[in-house]
Structure 1
């Protein structure tokens, strides 16, 4: 069984102004989410964006519910920093510390624009690596800044450079449809996108498998729902401790059993 990792990936973050530059969204901003699996609350997540001098800092936090600690405790923190560049922003650095069950991932990365390199370090082993910088490029957190600002047209796709685990990933994002959805934060008209997450990474929403994001169909493009299906999550069967929490009708619905959802419940945006 692959262990669920309840992290919130919100993919990509800004508009091309020129070169590596990106135009800012609403700042400051705080988005609060409730994470559920099969209708059961399993955790909370917060995505906040603030200004720091002439730059921008984006912070993602995820915590599992106390009841899940004996089975799978999650305590994740990711920080992305952007520098002012021209009329917009460009990636400066990224740091993550994910604690999910028995997994403990801790690494950092920074951009060297002068040498046109993206430099990585594993903060547990201190192993270093680097990759050629293809701009504009983003880390797993800051790339939401991009997706939220570019024009989106149903039936069209866009591509995003995501630098992670020492390599460049070219992620294709399909724009699927428009849909009105109901959340604890209210009713929203949304535009639905699906990034192709066929990349090597850590954490739930970064892993391979279908990812769907509902963005408000307006200038802010606030992500109100993020849904991730982990294919073959229960390939070896549903553990006994989970069976007691799920009715038979849910256990027999494999797509639902393999899906984790983040839904907007409040914040300032």
Structure 2
């Protein structure tokens, strides 16, 4: 059941493109909110939200602030209650991570992670349960598992695009890949969307993916200027999960 949380953040392993391709205007801003339903096979297992919060300061530096929440469906609460929160902060241009926090509460399992990126030293410091557990060297443009999604959304998509990015959870830092396979029309509870279908390289991901020889992970982004993640689907040995957009609120400000 712990895969509910990983379902929600796995699409955050989307990949940062070369800075030469970057655009000035961001397709998101404070006030944007996306709501999702998460299904294991055909069973509604959880609900999730992804929101762009008001800009803040992180150690005196202006920062973007992203917030995600996941919770088990009400009928599951009595069996395996899930209440997870993920937070991420980046520079204003969304070109590298500043901090990443995860508060996991799933059944009897509870864990807090605080990952701090030191841009000056190109290192990260990962605290778990209040103790420093990992210090590793990082590339200059590394992203955490959630903010990488927003970096990806900055870039106009086209069929055949190939991405390589630096992504880190604080335990290790890897280069991973994604491919834009084509254009598809996707139907979700929020409506029909023309989308770009993106396949992710998940050989570096842990947990159930690592144990599944033929695991697959796909994300569908709306084929417009917002590039909203409207659907996520994964196939693993024990079945598959999907995450579908059920509600969308546009940003108050796009900057």
Place the TM-score, normalised by the shorter chain, in its bin.
Answer: 0.7 to 0.9
Cα deviation, 1:233-269, whole Å, max 9, x if unaligned, reads 3xxxxxxxxxxxxxxxxxxxxxxxx111111011212
Given candidates 214, 219, 227, the residue that maps to 1:221 is 227
Which of 139-148 and 88-97 deviates more?
Answer: 88-97
Give the aligned CA root-mean-square deviation in angstroms.
Answer: 2.8
Q: How far is the alpha carbon of 1:120 from its aligned partner?
A: 1.1
On the 8 A contact 1:32/1:265 being kept in 2, the answer is yes
Q: How far is the alpha carbon of 1:13 from its aligned partner?
A: 7.7
The secondary structure found in structure 2 opposite 1:194 is strand
On the 8 A contact 1:33/1:45 being kept in 2, the answer is yes
Match of 1:39 in 2: 42
Following the alignment from structure 2 to structure 1, what is the Cα–Cα distance between the partners of residues 146 and 211?
14
Is 1:164 the counterpart of 2:169? The answer is: yes
Matched ranges for 1:58-137 at <5 A: 58-84=66-92, 89-123=95-129, 126-137=131-142
On the 8 A contact 2:95/2:151 being kept in 1, the answer is no
Following the alignment from structure 2 to structure 1, what is the Cα–Cα distance between the partners of residues 144 and 198?
19
Is 1:197 the counterpart of 2:205? The answer is: no
Q: How far is the alpha carbon of 1:200 from its aligned partner?
A: 4.5
Is 1:267 the counterpart of 2:248? The answer is: yes
Q: Which runs of 5+ in 1 are unaligned?
A: 234-257
Following the alignment from structure 2 to structure 1, what is the Cα–Cα distance between the partners of residues 209 and 247?
21
Match of 2:3 in 1: 5
After TM superposition, the score normalised by the length of structure 1 is 0.78
Q: How far is the alpha carbon of 1:71 from its aligned partner?
A: 3.4
Q: How far is the alpha carbon of 1:101 from its aligned partner?
A: 3.5
Q: Which runs of 5+ in 2 are unaligned?
A: 57-61, 251-255
Following the alignment from structure 2 to structure 1, what is the Cα–Cα distance between the partners of residues 154 and 35?
20
Report the CA distance shift for 1:23/1:172 in structure 2 as closer, same or farther (over 3 A).
farther
Report the CA distance shift for 1:91/1:48 in structure 2 as closer, same or farther (over 3 A).
same
Q: How far is the alpha carbon of 1:102 from its aligned partner?
A: 4.0
Matched ranges for 1:41-60 at <5 A: 41-53=44-56, 54-60=62-68
Following the alignment from structure 1 to structure 2, what is the Cα–Cα distance between the partners of residues 158 and 89?
15
Report the CA distance shift for 1:15/1:176 in structure 2 as closer, same or farther (over 3 A).
closer
Q: How far is the alpha carbon of 1:182 from its aligned partner?
A: 1.1
Cα deviation, 1:72-104, whole Å, max 9, x if unaligned, reads 3221110001123xx554311000012233433
Match of 2:185 in 1: 180
* Structure with larger Rg: 1
After TM superposition, the score normalised by the length of structure 2 is 0.82
